[in-house]
Structure 1
C-alpha cells in the first residue's frame, strides 16, 4: 500500500512541469511547440536560453528531492518509501495528465533521485555523473550522456548493498529513460542528433 501512496504523491509533484511553466512565464510560449517539443532542461536551454534552462534543471531536481523527503517523512520506517516517491515524480514529469501526458524525459528528476540516495551511497552520484559528463564532454551529445547516466544508476547500486527491489526499480527507470530517448537514439544512429551549444527555436507545425 505504501508503494501506491508514495507514487501517487510523487506523481502529483512531478506533474508540476517546470519547463512548461518557465516557457509560459519567461518566454510566453508553449515549449511543446518549439525546438524538440520536449518539456525538459535541454529544450528550455536551446529555446529560452541559459537562465531558463538552469531554472528548469534545478526545479526538476528539487521535485525529486521533495517527493523523496515527503514520502520518507510519512513512512519513516520503510527504507524504499523515498525511492517510490521519486518513481512517482518521474512518471508525473514524463506523463503529466493535464498536458496530454506529454512531458519531459526525466533525467533531471533522476539526478534528484541520485542525490537523495547519495546520503547512504556517496559514490553513486560521483560515478554516474562522471560517466554522463564524460560522454557529453567527448561527444557534445546531451542525450547520449543522459542515457549513460541513467543506465549507470542500477549498475552502481547493484554493486552496493542496496536492496534488490530498489535495483529493479532503477532498472525500470533506466529503461523508461531509454524509451523516452528513442527519437534521440534514431538521430544518433543516423548522425542527425543536435549537439550541445546548438540553439534551436523553430516552431513545430
Structure 2
C-alpha cells in the first residue's frame, strides 16, 4: 500500500507544470501559445526570461530528485528508488494537470540521476555543456547527453569508472529516460536537419543554425 501511494505521489509531483503555472500566474502568459509551445525549461527561458527559466529548471530537476529519494525517506524496500523517479518523469511528460501534455523530460530525468548517482550526472552534464558550446543548441545538447548516458551504462562498469558494476535496473531506467528524451525531441531533430533550430547566444554554432 505504501509503495502504491508513493508511486502516485511521485507521478503527481512530476506532473506539476511549473512553467505553465508560473507563466499564467505571474506573467499572464500561457506557454503553450508562445515559442515552441512547450512548458519546460527552454521555452520558459525563451518566453518568460532567465529568472523564470532558472526557477523552472531547479523545480523540475528537484522533482526528479525528490521522487527518487522518497522511498528512502519512507524506508521502502524491495523496489528500486529509480522506479519512483521514473514515475515523476512520466508525470512531467504526461501531466494530469496539463491535459496530459508536458515537458521533454530533460531536467526531471537529470534530477532522477542526481538522486541516485550524482557522479554519473556530472559526466552527462559535461557532455551537455561541451555540445552546447560547440553547437549552441539546447535540443542537440539534450539528445547528446541522453546518448552519452547510454554509452556510459554500457562501457563504464567494464572499467569500474563511475559505475562500479553493471546494474540492470539502473541500465533499464537510463534506457527508458534516454528514449523518452530522444523521442520528445523529434521535431527539434527535423529543424536541426533544416538548419532552422533555435540557438542560444553562446557558443560556436558550428552547424550554422539560422533561427535565434
Q: Give the TM interval when normalised to the shorter protein.
A: 0.7 to 0.9
Q: Does 1:138 align with 2:134?
A: yes
Superposition pairs of residues 116-155 of structure 1, within 5 angstroms: 116-118=115-117, 122=119, 124-155=120-151
Q: Does 53-62 or 68-77 show the bigger shift?
A: 68-77
Instruction: Tell me the matched-pair count.
Output: 195
Cα 1:109–1:162 change in 2 (3 A) is: farther
Residues 95, 101 of structure 1: 8 Å contact kept: yes
Corresponding residue number in structure 2 for 1:172: 176
Cα 1:102–1:78 change in 2 (3 A) is: same
Q: Please give the per-residue CA displacement for 1:4-48, whole angstroms capped at 9, x wherever unaligned.
A: 655433211111111111111221111011110001011000001
Following the alignment from structure 2 to structure 1, what is the Cα–Cα distance between the partners of residues 150 and 2?
22
Cα shift at 1:182 = 0.6
CA RMSD of aligned residues (A): 2.1
Following the alignment from structure 1 to structure 2, what is the Cα–Cα distance between the partners of residues 100 and 8?
17
Gap regions ≥5 residues in structure 2: 157-162, 203-210
Corresponding residue number in structure 2 for 1:191: 195
Q: Give the secondary-structure state (helix, strand or coil) at the position aligned to 1:171.
A: helix
Cα 1:86–1:48 change in 2 (3 A) is: same
Q: Give the secondary-structure state (helix, strand or coil) at the position aligned to 1:111.
A: helix
Which of 179, 185, 193 lines up with 1:181 in the alignment? 185
Cα shift at 1:172 = 1.3
Gap regions ≥5 residues in structure 1: 201-205
Following the alignment from structure 1 to structure 2, what is the Cα–Cα distance between the partners of residues 171 and 152?
11
Q: Provide runs of 4+ in structure 1 moved above 6 Å.
A: none
Q: Please give the per-residue CA displacement for 1:78-131, whole angstroms capped at 9, x wherever unaligned.
A: 462x21111011111111023121110010111111211225xx2x12211111
Q: Give the secondary-structure state (helix, strand or coil) at the position aligned to 1:138.
A: helix
Corresponding residue number in structure 2 for 1:11: 11
TM-score of the pair, normalised by structure 1: 0.87
Superposition pairs of residues 39-54 of structure 1, within 5 angstroms: 39-54=39-54
Q: Give the secondary-structure state (helix, strand or coil) at the position aligned to 2:37.
A: coil
TM-score of the pair, normalised by structure 2: 0.84
Cα shift at 1:188 = 0.6
